[in-house]
Structure 1
Amino acid sequence: MKIENVRQFIREKAIEFGAKPDNEHNKPYIERNNTKPDTLKDNGAFFGFIHSEEEASGPFHDFSFTIFPSENDKPWLVCLGIGSSGFKNDYEVATYPGLRRLFSKLTNDRGFCKSDFSDIETSLPKSITNNSDLQHLKNTIKTYTKVLPACQIVDDPESTKGKEIISAFIAGYAKLREWPTNKSHRKAISDALEPFIKDESIDDELEIRNLLDKRKFLVLQGPPGTGKTRMAKKVADEFDAKTFFIQFHAETAFSDFIYGIRPDIDNKQLSYHKTEGIFTQALKYAIDNHNERVVLIIDEINRANLSNVLGPIFYLFEYKMEESDVEIEISPNFKIKKLPENFYVIATMNTADRSLAVVDFALRRRFAWYSFKPKPINSRNFHKEDFAKIQEIFNWYSSSGELSLQPGQGYFSAESDKEMENRIRYEIFPLIKEYLQEGLLKNAKEEFNNYFASRINQSLFE
């Protein structure tokens, strides 16, 4: 009776998510049910949905939504599976990072998610095959051990929690199969996934202030438009600090940042005068005003050749550095053994700038790193539908590295629909086109092209 109840439940959820099982020529799935009494004795019992092009019985291909049930109120196993015949239509889908990204959020420490969904050679880990809660399904799981990319133990499939997990797995399968055709379907899927994929509400400003107070030297990194520079200035203000600011570029040098000499162009005779860089100015101010916090903001820190710009002062940024006998010369007649306690540095780094060299590992060790991600904001000027569509494409098709290219929320703030359309046409469209020309986000090119064609009537490939 329990199996029949759950079977009815998953059919209803499939319809809610956009599947139309009564279609004669365009069926969304084939339902499989192998739950005869003899199979329920750890002999391969399962039920669920498989690809609509497969047969109603026998071996099958491609992704499936599969449940391994059991008798006597013992736990069940809910899975995204792959037919024992391997891939026929779904191999490309299996390579999309977003599919794994989604199901990884649906599994916890009582589940498992493979690192590569196209892998049908690697078996399940011992945490599943030897799990004490699944010994009644041991032989069944062993039979399918290589073709279960994601699975989750469900103690009671008819409980509220059990139904929540099953609904989320069906919703993930519905996205994979592109069942939804209207807003109602998409909302139902979002509602089913929401308990598992909602982002924790993090107060970035508070986190950064606490981190800066503890570590003193901090880099804010993230894609363009995520508010890194704005946050750096805001934190410095909230820190009640004296702020110094510089933006690095390819030609920034030691003489600009720390100390140098420059010709006096107002003097008829050739002469030079000393120039203290912004670092030296901030440092001297901190020493002279030891009761006042001083924050030096370095915008776009990775745009300069840091070895040339920092020179010997690199040594001074050692975390929890104790004063030593080593003196570092900042400028003539100005040497220090340690940076003052009231001196702080906040740097920003654009992770989408592909022309920049990888930051020195020694610098990474000396600074704390805080990552910004694009996220929706509560504002009447924020165009959430455009933001959500771009985010959806990135989440589904981009690799972990390519996620750092997603335009931030700043790109989607406009006072009118016309202004937003212009932002898409003259800012987001050229940015995505440049990514594609560099060979990035190749899996997403048709999705992006379709979005721009429908949104601004412009093709990426004209």
Structure 2
Amino acid sequence: MNEENIRIKNVLEFIRQKAIEFGANNDKEFNKSYIERNNTGSDSLKDKGAYFGFIHPEEESGGPFHDFSLTIFPCIEDKPWLVCLGIGSSGFKNDYDLANYPGVRRLFSKLINEKGFCKSDFSDIETPLPKTIANSEDLEQIKNTIKTYTKVLPVCQIVENPESEEGKKIIAAFVAGYAKLRNWSSNKEQRKAISDALKPFFKEEKIDEVEEINNLLIDRKYIVLQGPPGTGKTRTAKEVAEKIKIRTKTFFTQFHAETSFSDFIFGIRPDLNSNHLLYKENLGIFTKALKYAEENSGERVILIIDEINRANLSNVLGPIFYLFEHKMDKWDVEIEISPDFKINRLPDNFHVIATMNTADRSLSVVDFALRRRFAWYDLKPTPINGKKKNLANVSVSEINNSEEYFFLEDFSKINEIFDWYASSNELSLQPGQGYFIAKSEEEMKSRIQYEIFPLIKEYLQEGLVRNAKEEFNNYFASRINQSLFE
């Protein structure tokens, strides 16, 4: 057996072992986890379509096949190999719906680096690989083979040395991704093995959001914190204001459907203390904050506007909309804020932090001009580590009802469902970490029943995240013994 055949044999045995670790079972005659393909004869290795890997368990052991495959293209002379999530040349039979699950792409897109490629649409079997991959010098030895399959390789990664530690790590991750796609795991150990293989590719930078937002505020002056409910937008806005080291004055308001120019900036109101019909001026919170900033140039003034998209912004902001330019070159237009109070620019010490709930589908669409004038910062559902205890690390006997706990298992399950089934737009609906903080198991179950359950049910009734309906239903049935479809 030559050296190349030994390498192929070793890597094939490696992916078989990983498949077993991840829950694959090919010992039984029926209901196999996969069909193994190995087309690596000496003639095939001469750039004539050599490959090996796993295909859908309902396919034949030879000939053209359908659906997703784990495919490895070997190369002779110690050249790099190509590891892929492929699609059989016969197209889709069972996996078309799977190809359209956003989570499949999200998963495999994390497994590639600058020498990899991931299609934007996994159901697309008409678009070829980009030239950077198809004509890569690394794959010169198998360029004809790659050309043959160029339209049916939604994800591929060049592996310099498949038997090195780095090469094995990449291959193991692709096997783990395929195991997750095929639902091989049936117990906690197998799920942990899959998670461990994928973990090195799921690096999440620990970001100090408050510090990052503060730096953005210094640079841009006017920002909007946007995210789903429960992600701590209002709390974060207040933390930013509190963290600023120099003297700071904070003003707070919350918009609603009836908020108007006269509420926010300036108007007149009846004098209820007079026996006659008299009116008195009403300075809105914007004007109060603005005047304070002008009169106290040594302080930093922050105006927090909660739920900014709940109001009709054109009516509320009126002519002051013009002033929200963080880098305006010419200040030659005066805007009247109130009688005897006109300005041509907002003071340098005046800042605005607004919040916006991305899950509220009934609210007005934010004007594109406002988007240009404000910086936008996304707050996403994030597991809590720190002040709140993580229940995964606390035994039931240790639970103290005077403390708050973060229910990681519930958060992770909801997060997993959204990650796998939700479109990019639907991710903005995911309940944030605030929903999963409670003082006891009973309180958490109550929160699921009376807050999370109705929220998900409303989403489904609006036709949102419909692909996940059975997953949600199974979660609620097992967690609170309640069905979404009663």
Distance in 2 separating the partners of 1:61 and 1:29: 13
Q: Secondary structure at the match of 1:285?
A: helix
Instruction: Measure how far apart 1:266 and its partner are.
Output: 2.2
**1:54-95 CA-partner distances (Å, limit 9, x unpaired):** 111111111000000011100000000011111111111011
Residue type matched to 1:278 in 2? I
State which of 153, 157, 160 in structure 2 corresponds to 1:152.
157
Task: Note if 1:284 corresponds to 2:291.
Answer: yes
Q: Which residue of 1 aligns with 2:277?
A: 270
CA contact (8 A) 1:323 1:337 kept: no
**1:202-239 CA-partner distances (Å, limit 9, x unpaired):** 11011001000111111100000000100100110112
Q: How does 1:406-421 map to 2 (within 5 A)?
A: 406-421=430-445
Deviates more, 1:361-370 or 1:190-199: 190-199
Q: Which residue of 1 aligns with 2:475?
A: 451
Q: Secondary structure at the match of 2:406?
A: coil
Residue type matched to 1:250 in 2? A
Q: Which residue of 2 aligns with 1:57?
A: 62
Distance in 2 separating the partners of 1:188 and 1:377: 24
CA RMSD of aligned residues (A): 0.8
Distance in 1 separating the partners of 2:12 and 2:296: 72
Q: Secondary structure at the match of 1:49?
A: strand
Q: Secondary structure at the match of 2:126?
A: coil
Q: How does 1:26-425 map to 2 (within 5 A)?
A: 26-239=31-244, 240-322=247-329, 324-378=331-385, 379-380=388-389, 381-425=405-449
Distance in 2 separating the partners of 1:138 and 1:71: 12
Distance in 2 separating the partners of 1:456 and 1:192: 32
Instruction: Measure how far apart 1:5 and its partner are.
Output: 0.5
Q: Which residue of 2 aligns with 1:15?
A: 20
Q: Which residue of 1 aligns with 2:399?
A: none
CA contact (8 A) 2:214 2:240 kept: yes
State which of 457, 468, 477 in structure 2 corresponds to 1:433.
457
Instruction: Measure how far apart 1:241 and its partner are.
Output: 1.3
Residue type matched to 2:470 in 1? E
Instruction: Measure how far apart 1:11 and its partner are.
Output: 0.4
Instruction: Measure how far apart 1:382 and its partner are.
Output: 0.4
Residue type matched to 1:40 in 2? L
Distance in 2 separating the partners of 1:323 and 1:141: 57
Residue type matched to 2:107 in 1? L
CA contact (8 A) 1:322 1:338 kept: no
Deviates more, 1:2-11 or 1:261-270: 261-270
**1:347-371 CA-partner distances (Å, limit 9, x unpaired):** 0000001011221111011111110
Instruction: Measure how far apart 1:198 and its partner are.
Output: 2.7
Distance in 2 separating the partners of 1:354 and 1:39: 56
Q: Secondary structure at the match of 1:106?
A: coil
Residue type matched to 2:441 in 1? D
CA contact (8 A) 1:168 1:192 kept: yes
* Number of matched pairs: 462
TM-score normalised by length of structure 2: 0.94
Residue type matched to 1:154 in 2? V
Distance in 2 separating the partners of 1:72 and 1:194: 32
Instruction: Measure how far apart 1:324 and its partner are.
Output: 1.9
**1:250-269 CA-partner distances (Å, limit 9, x unpaired):** 00000000000001122121
**1:281-318 CA-partner distances (Å, limit 9, x unpaired):** 00000111100110000000011000100011111111
Instruction: Measure how far apart 1:23 and its partner are.
Output: 2.3
Unaligned runs of 5+ in 1: none
Q: Secondary structure at the match of 2:65?
A: coil
TM-score normalised by length of structure 1: 0.99
Residue type matched to 2:195 in 1? S
Distance in 2 separating the partners of 1:86 and 1:218: 47
Deviates more, 1:442-451 or 1:231-240: 231-240
Residue type matched to 1:413 in 2? I
Instruction: Measure how far apart 1:325 and its partner are.
Output: 2.4
Distance in 2 separating the partners of 1:18 and 1:271: 79
Instruction: Measure how far apart 1:323 and its partner are.
Output: 5.3
Distance in 1 separating the partners of 2:370 and 2:253: 18
Instruction: Measure how far apart 1:454 and its partner are.
Output: 0.7
Instruction: Measure how far apart 1:147 and its partner are.
Output: 0.7
Q: Secondary structure at the match of 1:318?
A: coil
Unaligned runs of 5+ in 2: 1-5, 390-404
CA contact (8 A) 2:82 2:157 kept: yes
CA contact (8 A) 1:323 1:338 kept: no
Residue type matched to 2:239 in 1? K
CA contact (8 A) 2:311 2:364 kept: no
CA contact (8 A) 1:429 1:452 kept: yes
Instruction: Measure how far apart 1:6 and its partner are.
Output: 0.3
